[in-house]
Structure 1
Amino acid sequence: MEFLQQQIEKYGKIVSKDIVKVDSFLNHQLKPEIIEKIADGFIEEFSKYNPTKILTIEASGIAIAMVMGIKTGLPVVFAKKKKPITLSEECYTSNIYSYTKKETNSIVVSKEFIQKGDRVIIVDDFLAMGSAVLGLIDIVEQGEGEVVGIGIAVEKGFQQGGKLLREKGYNLKSLAIIEKIEGDKIFFRN
């Protein structure tokens, strides 16, 4: 999506050859018009698969998923990174490693929200090594649902997550794929 690439070039801040901060519009401060265009891209891509739920992980994927839910009428479910005391014992759990935060978290979703026969779109803001998405896939599979699509706003194409998911046969749509970062320039995959 050329629009998203332009936003990354305009607002993104290069931290290192591996990290571009987009927290001014995507995952700390939100620019609703950008979030809406991202959501529209995923709706256009995945509606044909007759999804029944949208699944994301707290916190950065929630805004995209919520706009999608408003526009499609689909329920939005998000995996929590810590199990609150209000969540029943009946939940699906998966462990994920955050390369950005350098920590492992157990994510949880109540069993009442992912069930057999659900056709799920997974959405998130970033894809690097794929741990978060694989954890969400695991939760859908525990609930005997089906992942019909994975929507990622920004994929780090120089890391292995996207390649891994595509090799496993998942229907992955990344709206902007960063091929490499050199100096003060971001290069995108076409």
Structure 2
Amino acid sequence: MKLLEDRILKDGHIGKGNVLKVDSFLNHQIDTAFIAELGKEFYRLYKDEKVTKILTIEASGIGIACLTAQYFNVPVVFAKKTPTINIYSDIYTSKVYSFTHKKDYDIYVSKQFINKDDRILIIDDFLAKGSALSALINLINDAGAQTVGAGIVIEKAFQDGGKIIRDMGIRVESLAMIKEMTEEDGIVFCS
């Protein structure tokens, strides 16, 4: 999506450890009008899939998922990263490895919010190694629901997450796919 690629080149930057920083518009400060345009594109891509719910993981995916869900007119469910007293004890849980934080953590979704009749679209900001996406798919499978696909804002195509998820038979639509990036040479998108 050219609109997104242009925005990444304009406002994104590569930080230490070869990390793409897009926090000025995507995952810290959210440009809602811009993200709504991304939501429209996800709707265009998945409108025929009879989506009943959108699933994401806290925290960065929530804003994107909400702005996307308005076009589908469906609720957003987000997996929590920490157990709390206000989440029911009847939960689905899965494990995620965070490359950013270099540790494993569990994610949780109350069983009352996902059921076997749901057709779920996963929305997230990044796809790199595929750990978070795999964990969300596991939650959906545990509920007996169907994953209709994953809408990813930015995929790091030089890492293996996209291949892993696609090899599972899951449709993945990424709005920007980065072929390579370095602090020295900048960002190269897949054509």
Q: TM-score range by the shorter chain?
A: over 0.9
| Root-mean-square deviation (Å) | 1.1
User: Which ranges of structure 1 fall in alignment gaps of 5 or more residues?
Assistant: none
Decide whether the 8 Å contact of 1:154 with 1:175 is kept in 2.
yes
SS of residue in 2 equivalent to 1:77 = strand
1:118 paired residue number: 118
Measure the CA separation in 1 of the matches of 2:148 and 2:161: 18
Give the gaps of 5 or more residues in structure 2: none
Contact 2:39 2:69 in 1 (8 A): no
CA distance in 2, matches of 1:109, 1:26: 24
Would the aligned equivalents of 1:17 and 1:181 in 2 still touch at CA under 8 Å? no
User: Which residue is 1:186 aligned to?
Assistant: 187
Which amino acid in the other structure matches residue 149 of structure 1?
A: G
Paired residue secondary structure (1:140): helix
Q: Partner residue of 1:10?
A: 10
Distance in 1, matches of 2:70 and 2:181, equals 35
In 1: Cα distance, 2:50 partner to 2:173 partner: 16
Aligned length: 190
2:154 corresponds to: 154
1 CA distance for matches of 2:156 and 2:18? 8
CA shift at 1:67, angstroms? 1.1
Q: Which amino acid aligns with 1:173?
A: E
Shift of 1:111: 0.2
Q: Quick one: distance in 1 between partners of 2:111 and 2:17?
A: 40
Looking at structure 1, the residues matched to 17 and 158 of structure 2 have their Cα atoms a distance apart, in angstroms, of 10
* TM-score normalised per structure 2: 0.96
Q: Is the 8 A contact 1:14 1:184 kept in 2?
A: no
- Deviation by residue 1:80-103 (Cα, 9 ceiling, x = unmatched): 000111111100000001111212
TM-score under structure 1 normalisation? 0.97
Contact persistence 2:32–2:67 (CA under 8 A): no
Partner of 1:20: 20
Distance 1:184 1:33, change over 3 A: farther
Where does residue 70 of structure 2 map in the other structure? 70
Any idea what the Cα deviations from partners look like across 1:164-190, whole Å, max 9, x if unmatched?
111221110000011101314100001
